[in-house]
């Protein structure tokens, strides 16, 4: 039997095991009977043992950057001889050197560090029903008891319950800057990567090689390079050929090729996305969840409320922060808007 590794995952098809596995290090599909000779398996087994027990035998060439997105992955030598492997200084992983410079290379040691450093509280809702795994390769899913939608993970379920039904608050706020996130895990990961990283920014900066701007987060560097210095749109819709810069944008676009699953029970208008449907339905029900603190005007859309507060009252609500939280922190007592104060006609609400 081949040696098992947490980096090698067997592939299932229709809940049945196949003779193939996926290497999580290089994202290659390999036959199960070749796992022992696969280059990533060899590196993990042999070089990882040497690096842990005999680190003096390995020389790390920190003057050579293999991938600008991963300035902490360097080529290595063994016993003074150059070898075709690299080392991640952040998590200690040994990797095949030739996969690191690739444009689609992804190394996820930051997730490991986040999980080790920040114990994230798990989301719970009495309105979520757990659907057990089906078969050895199946995954647990969750059903929302309020609208019967089935979600593929607890992460998606939490985002659904918060965003659609408002359970537990629509957003989880960062305890440092107030930025809002769809789940507890994303908020904690943000705190670790941005605010903990900022404490040691001198040691952990990511620098753009085009304009020398620096970032404390690899993701922000990537977004900066894609938005400012690249015309690439590598994600292509296989249905119409339209290309996108971001995978998330492409996935949202692909939804528009599918059926309009959500139908308004008042006017029978149909929608691709559940959130759009719920926003539309508020037009009929009269629900307007966002309120301006200064004049009590209400809104269906968060962006409409923020735009109103800025244009009408001259106050900018920070990105990632909701109106209710912003007003409670900055305007604890009802008061006239800044515009009204300047005019000298303070009105009581």
Residues 76, 87, single domain; the answer is yes
Q: Which residues contact 273 (CB under 8 A, 6 or more apart)?
A: 252, 255, 262
Query: Residue 113: what pLDDT?
Result: 42
Query: Residue 196: what pLDDT?
Result: 61
Give the H or E element holding residue 326. Answer: helix 323-330
Residues 296, 341, single domain; the answer is yes
Residues 131, 213, single domain; the answer is no
Residue 27 has a CB neighbour count (10 Å cut-off) of 12
Residue 255 has a CB neighbour count (10 Å cut-off) of 12
Query: Residue 138: what pLDDT?
Result: 66
Burial label for 161, CB within 10 Å (0-12, 13-18, 19+), is: buried
Residues 347, 315, single domain; the answer is yes
Residues 121, 176, single domain; the answer is yes
Dihedral sign for Cα 167, 270, 140, 252, please. negative
Residues 223, 239, single domain; the answer is no
Q: Which residues contact 49 (CB under 8 A, 6 or more apart)?
A: none
In a domain, 281, yes or no: yes
Query: Residue 71: what pLDDT?
Result: 77
> At which residue do the structure tokens 């139908």 appear?
263
In a domain, 108, yes or no: no
In a domain, 249, yes or no: yes
Residues 269, 294, single domain; the answer is no
User: What pairing do the DSSP bridges indicate for beta strands 206-207 and 180-181?
Assistant: unpaired
At residue 39, φ and ψ (nearest 5 deg) are -60, -35
In a domain, 26, yes or no: yes
Name the stretches of the chain with pLDDT < 50. 1-4, 110-120, 198, 201, 203-204, 335-349
Q: Are 174 and 183 in contact (CB under 8 A)?
A: no
Residues 59, 99, single domain; the answer is yes
CA distances from 225 to 43, 65, 69, 104, 331 (A): 31, 17, 10, 14, 38
Residues 96, 134, single domain; the answer is no
Query: Residue 344: what pLDDT?
Result: 36
Among 285, 301, 326, the domain boundary falls at: 285
Residues 219, 269, single domain; the answer is no
Rounded to whole angstroms, the Cα distance separating 328 from 77 reads 58
Query: Residue 342: what pLDDT?
Result: 37
Q: Are 86 and 95 in contact (CB under 8 A)?
A: yes
What is the domain range of residue 79? 8-103
Cα atoms in the Cβ-side hemisphere of radius 13 Å centred on 168: 23
Among 243, 260, 285, the domain boundary falls at: 285
Regarding pTM above 0.95, the answer is: no
At residue 257, φ and ψ (nearest 5 deg) are -85, -15
Query: Residue 322: what pLDDT?
Result: 82
Query: Residue 19: what pLDDT?
Result: 83
Among 73, 103, 133, the domain boundary falls at: 103
In a domain, 73, yes or no: yes
Query: Residue 267: what pLDDT?
Result: 92
In a domain, 109, yes or no: no
Query: Residue 193: what pLDDT?
Result: 67
Residues 15, 33, single domain; the answer is yes
Domain count for the chain? 5
């Amino acid at each position: 039997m081949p040696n098992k590794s947490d980096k090698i995952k067997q592939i299932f098809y229709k809940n049945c095991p196949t003779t193939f596995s996926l290497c999580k290090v290089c994202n290659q599909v390999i036959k199960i009977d070749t796992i022992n000779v696969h280059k990533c398996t060899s590196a993990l087994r042999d070089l990882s043992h040497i690096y842990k027990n005999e680190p003096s035998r390995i020389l790390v060439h920190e003057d050579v950057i293999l991938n600008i997105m991963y300035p902490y992955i360097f080529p290595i030598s063994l016993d003074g001889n150059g070898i075709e492997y690299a080392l991640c200084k952040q998590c200690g992983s040994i990797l095949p050197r030739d996969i690191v410079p690739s444009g689609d290379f992804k190394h996820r040691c930051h997730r490991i560090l986040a999980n080790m450093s920040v114990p994230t509280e798990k989301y719970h809702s009495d309105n979520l029903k757990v659907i057990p795994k089906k078969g050895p390769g199946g995954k647990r899913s969750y059903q929302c008891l309020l609208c019967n939608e089935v979600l593929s993970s607890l992460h998606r379920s939490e985002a659904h319950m918060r965003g659609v039904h408002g359970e537990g608050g629509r957003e989880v706020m960062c305890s440092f800057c107030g930025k809002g996130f769809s789940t507890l895990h994303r908020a904690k990961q943000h705190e670790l990567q941005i605010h903990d990283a900022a404490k040691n920014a001198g040691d952990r900066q990511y620098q753009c090689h085009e304009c020398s701007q620096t970032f404390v987060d690899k993701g922000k560097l990537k977004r900066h390079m894609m938005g400012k210095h690249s015309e690439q749109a590598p994600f292509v819709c296989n249905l119409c050929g339209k290309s996108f810069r971001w995978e998330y944008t492409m996935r949202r676009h692909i939804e528009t090729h599918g059926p309009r699953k959500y139908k308004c029970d008042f006017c029978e208008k149909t929608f691709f996305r559940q959130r759009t449907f719920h926003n539309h339905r508020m037009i009929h029900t009269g629900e307007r969840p966002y309120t301006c603190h200064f004049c009590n005007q209400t809104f269906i859309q968060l962006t409409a409320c923020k735009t109103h507060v800025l244009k009408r009252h001259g106050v900018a609500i920070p990105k990632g922060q909701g109106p209710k939280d912003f007003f409670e922190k900055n305007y604890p007592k009802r008061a006239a808007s800044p515009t009204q104060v300047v005019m000298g006609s303070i009105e009581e609400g």
